[in-house]
Amino acid sequence: MEGNFLNCLRTGCSGCEHSGPPGTVSSAQRSSTMEIFLWLILTAANAVTATQHPVQLSPCQVVHMNAYCNDMNLRAIPGELPSGIHMLDLSHNLLQNLTQEFMSFYSTVHHLNFHANKIQFIQPGIFKDMTNLQVLDLSRNNLDIFAGSKTEVGPLTTVKNLDLSSNGLYTGMTDYFLREAPTLLNLSLNGNSITKISKDTFSGSTALRKIDLHNNVILEIEDGAFDSLPDLSELDLSMNSITCITDFNLSQLKLLNLSKNSMESFQAMDSDLEYELQYLDLRENKVHYFPAFPRRNKLMYLDLSRNLLRGINTIPPAEELDLMKDGRFPTHAQSDHRNVQNDLSRLLYLDMSYNQIKNIPSSFFNYTRSLEMLNLSNNCLMAFSVNYVSPLNFLKVLDLSFNALQNLSFAENTLQSLEELYLTANVLSVIDSTTFYRLPNVRDLHLQHNFLKICGAGQWPLQRSHRSYSTDCVILSSIHRLKSLYLSENSMEFVPQCAFHGSPLTILDLSQNPGLMLHKNAFTGLEPSLTCLSLRGNDLHTLNIDLSVFSNLRNVDLSDNKLTSLPLWNKESAIQSLNLQNNRLVTLEYNTLLVLERTLKTLYLGSNPLSCCSNLRFLHMVQTSNMDIPDIALVTCQYTQDSEHVEINITNVAQEHCEMIDRKSLGIIIIIITSLVLIVILVLLSKLCHPQRHRLRSSFKA
């Protein structure tokens, strides 16, 4: 294998078209005539070997001083690469031993990639003379075997990035790599089996800025384990088994990732020190109480989603502590937030979704004045309010979906920057009718799955200044930035005239409100803006709205209704996708189809009692058009054959089927006409015959 390999390498590097200009390898070493000569020979040799063993073509490609020798089943480091290589990629090979022998050729290499080999032995000191080496990737190897031999890798004099992930390393083994790594900035120990970070784990790599310990089994971090790292700014401890952090004192840290541990609490040390922490990820833990942050912090991003928060207290209220002493855990947390001394005035992003929060006092927002994104979805909130004292006027996204909200109140002049509001799946019915009307920047309103009704023009409250005007309808007109409005599943009965007038909606979803009635001018004002309309599942018998006036309407969903016909379209239409599935349509008007066909790309038509033969042009159009009909398997035509009801897929309906029917009816007509003629003849005959008989009889008599 190895003998072949060198041969391959030479032929490859000079003869292979993919490896850059021929001669990349030898241009620095050999004369050009020699090179051309060699090249000719090798090309020929290559052609021969290529026909015999096509697999053994060029191992390494050299492009701009980067050598790619990955995925080649190599068992040794190739010795004949051009000098001056910057990057050497040996990933996905079968290397086992790294020895001095070959490495010394590559003192110019900056970036050395040994990812996914079988390395279990490294000759000590091997990297010492690689004075340009900055990035060393040893991930996915068997370095646990090496560390098991208690040998040290020797000095990593210039290495800045070291990747030791997925090597089966356990506690203490990192010492053999890190003891002399004075320039190391970035270390990954991702996916090992480390259970403990001890005090001197990083004492040989004091320049570290970023440590990735994701996916280990860390249970314990010794006091002062990171104290020797004055520049440490990012620490990823996600997916470990850490249960709590008390007296957090890494004031220099900017990012701390503790997601997917078993954290029950996070408490900073009580000090006046200024902490640099900006990102704290505590997602997917078992945190019961809101973390206690340093008094002076710069926290911007806090993810507390998927924990066990019941409120925003930082420590259990006294009564809860008493209960807890008895071994009982309170079911109802009195959230008087008495312990929020947290100053979170720089916090922009707060995710507390998937907890058990029952109540958030609006005064909590005194401490989070800069918030831009607040996610409280999937909690147990029954009420939510924002008052004028802490108006959250920087908030852009508020997610309150999947709670049990009955009461919602936003005081006047609050939430003035809000762009996206999610209220999906609550039980809102009676709220201040101007709740949404007063949000000047709201763009997306997700109101689906509630019990909201839309106010008609007459139901507008006269006294604007009235602060909490609760009505059983909400105003959805004149919301000047509103683009998307989702109102499906609200048990809504009626959409009044001009319901959205002055709100430049592009998306309007009114689906799944069975029995919904639409005023014929319900959508007036949306003519230029609307692009997407869903009226799915509303039990509509007729569509009393002229959709042809919406000049930009592209996507219309009318499925799951009881429509027997479509309104005529005679104007230009922009519709690209039309869903008519599961209605009671017997046919589509040919002229309407003709207009639609110009722009229509997708048409859903399945589960309708289509009578194709009565409209052959329609049949022909469906069968020949370029439109995509994704549910074509469900598009069937119905007719009666031998007094039996027959359904046949529209693609299988042939002219004969319809002609057969025609012929049959023609036959019936012929039969009827012939029988009529026969009757007339019989009558005439009988009239003619009677006198004759008479005469005969009389003659007989005579």
Ligand X SMILES: *[C@@H]1O[C@H](CO)[C@@H](O)[C@H](O)[C@H]1NC(C)=O
Q: Is 19 in the site for ligand X (CB under 6 A)?
A: no
Q: Is 447 in the site for ligand X (CB under 6 A)?
A: no
Of the CA atoms within 13 Å of residue 36, those in its CB half-sphere come to: 2
Q: φ, ψ for residue 684 (rounded to 5)?
A: -60, -45
Q: Is 349 in the site for ligand X (CB under 6 A)?
A: no
Q: Which is nearer to ligand X, 214 or 536 (CB)?
A: 214
Rg of the chain (C-alpha set) = 40
Q: Is 238 in the site for ligand X (CB under 6 A)?
A: yes
Least distance (Å) between residue 403 CB and ligand X: 12
Q: Which is nearer to ligand X, 371 or 600 (CB)?
A: 371
Q: Which of 102, 279, 349, 451 binds ligand X (CB under 6 A)?
A: 279
Interactions with ligand X, residue window 88-147 (CB under 6 A): 96-97, 121, 137
- Other CB atoms within 10 A of residue 416 CB: 15
Least distance (Å) between residue 91 CB and ligand X: 12
- Shortest CA distance to 76 belongs to which of 107, 102, 55, 104? 102
Q: Which of 24, 61, 70, 257 binds ligand X (CB under 6 A)?
A: 257
3-state secondary structure of 267: strand
Q: Is 503 in the site for ligand X (CB under 6 A)?
A: no
Q: Give the distance from CA 583 to its chain's centroid.
A: 32
Least distance (Å) between residue 220 CB and ligand X: 20
Name the one residue in this structure whose structure tokens are 């855990």.
Answer: 329
Per the CB < 8 A criterion, the answer to whether 274 and 251 are in contact is: yes
Q: φ, ψ for residue 301 (rounded to 5)?
A: -130, 125
Q: Which is nearer to ligand X, 6 or 57 (CB)?
A: 6
Q: Which of 239, 250, 340, 405 binds ligand X (CB under 6 A)?
A: 239
Per the CB < 8 A criterion, the answer to whether 471 and 452 are in contact is: no
Least distance (Å) between residue 500 CB and ligand X: 23
Which range, of 257-265, 485-493, 511-519, 617-625, touches ligand X by CB under 6 A?
257-265
Q: Which of 216, 249, 305, 414 binds ligand X (CB under 6 A)?
A: 305
Which range, of 255-263, 321-329, 432-440, 578-586, touches ligand X by CB under 6 A?
255-263
Least distance (Å) between residue 255 CB and ligand X: 6
Query: CA torsion sign, 150 to 153 to 155 to 160?
Result: negative
479: Cβ contacts below 8 Å, ≥ 6 apart: 436, 437, 439, 442, 445, 502, 503
Strand locations in 202-304 (E) = 210-212, 220-221, 234-236, 244-248, 255-257, 265-268, 279-281, 301-303
Q: Which of 70, 240, 314, 377 binds ligand X (CB under 6 A)?
A: 377
Between 158 and 177, how does the x/- string for binding to ligand X read (CB under 6 A)? ---x-x--------------
DSSP-assigned beta bridge partners for residue 702: none
Q: Which of 259, 313, 368, 538 binds ligand X (CB under 6 A)?
A: 259
Least distance (Å) between residue 76 CB and ligand X: 7
Give the whole-angstrom CA distance, residue 113 versus residue 42: 29
Least distance (Å) between residue 438 CB and ligand X: 21
Least distance (Å) between residue 199 CB and ligand X: 24
Give the whole-angstrom CA distance, residue 97 versus residue 388: 69
Least distance (Å) between residue 161 CB and ligand X: 5
Query: CA torsion sign, 11 to 14 to 20 to 26?
Result: positive
Least distance (Å) between residue 400 CB and ligand X: 10
Runs of H (alpha helix) within 267-335:
318-325
Count of residues in contact with ligand X, rule CB under 6 A = 25
Q: Which residues of the shown chain bind ligand X in the complex (CB under 6 A)?
A: 75, 96-97, 121, 137, 161, 163, 186, 188, 214, 238-239, 257, 259-260, 279, 281, 305, 353-354, 375, 377, 397, 399, 422
